[in-house]
Amino acid sequence: MRRLALLLAFLLPWPAWAHPHVLIDAHIIVLFDKGLITALQIGWKFDPVYSGSLVADFDKDKNATLSAKEIADIERDAFQDTAQHQYFTHASIDGQPVQWTRASNFTLLVQKDTLIYGFKLALPQPIDPRSHAFKVSTYEESFYIDIDIPNDAAIRLVGDGSAGCRATLSEDRATPLLGGAAYPKKMVVTCEP
């Protein structure tokens, strides 16, 4: 039996061995102003295991709550590092990648055993979704972190000019992870003319 297990281990492609170590449910609010998309307000809800680990690492005084300084340390040491990866939020306008500026309005909440980040990503220039294709996928390329937009209810369009627009959620088949073993979800915003 051990020989069979070893043989199968060598025959399986490496992506079958990979699995995420951090699970995040992403929620996205698309912010409109005067009919233009200006920014994304994003919430990341971490799995309880990673949440507990992060709180334990940054709760320096071990009082089981996070002070303003400890939250600032998490923002600096655990969140801002994601900037080099576009905050795991890969957007495109007419197929051209968006380069995010520094995230703003970072907040952190602890609800029971779950840690939630909130932050805002402003588009470099507001865009009119009536004349430009706007797509957002959330993923981390190595799949160490699995970032999932769980369902349509996790996306909202708000602000002046969002009426008549909708977000469609589907698998992003153009972005295979682990050689095609997994695909992130993509959100596409469309509006009536």
User: What confidence score (pLDDT) does residue 20 get?
Assistant: 76
How far does Cα 121 stand from its chain's mean position? Answer: 11
User: What confidence score (pLDDT) does residue 18 get?
Assistant: 53
User: What confidence score (pLDDT) does residue 112 get?
Assistant: 87
Q: What is the fold, at CATH topology level, of the domain defined by 18-191?
A: Acetylcholine Binding Protein; Chain: A, (2.70.170)
C-alpha 86/C-alpha 140 separation (Å) is 10
Q: What is the pLDDT along the chain (193 residues), one digit of tens a residue?
A: 333 333 333 334 444 445 678 999 999 999 999 999 999 999 999 999 999 999 999 999 998 889 999 999 999 999 999 999 999 999 999 999 999 999 999 999 999 889 999 999 999 999 999 999 999 999 999 888 999 999 999 999 999 999 999 999 999 999 999 889 899 999 999 998 8
User: What confidence score (pLDDT) does residue 1 get?
Assistant: 37
The pTM (predicted TM-score) of the whole model is 0.87
User: What confidence score (pLDDT) does residue 5 get?
Assistant: 32
Task: Work out the number of other CB atoms within 10 angstroms of the CB of residue 68.
Answer: 8
User: What confidence score (pLDDT) does residue 19 get?
Assistant: 60
C-alpha 32/C-alpha 129 separation (Å) is 10
User: What confidence score (pLDDT) does residue 16 get?
Assistant: 43
User: What confidence score (pLDDT) does residue 65 get?
Assistant: 86
C-alpha 109/C-alpha 90 separation (Å) is 24
- Give tens-digit pLDDT for 164-176: 999 999 999 999 9
Q: Sign of dihedral through CA atoms 149, 153, 158, 162?
A: positive
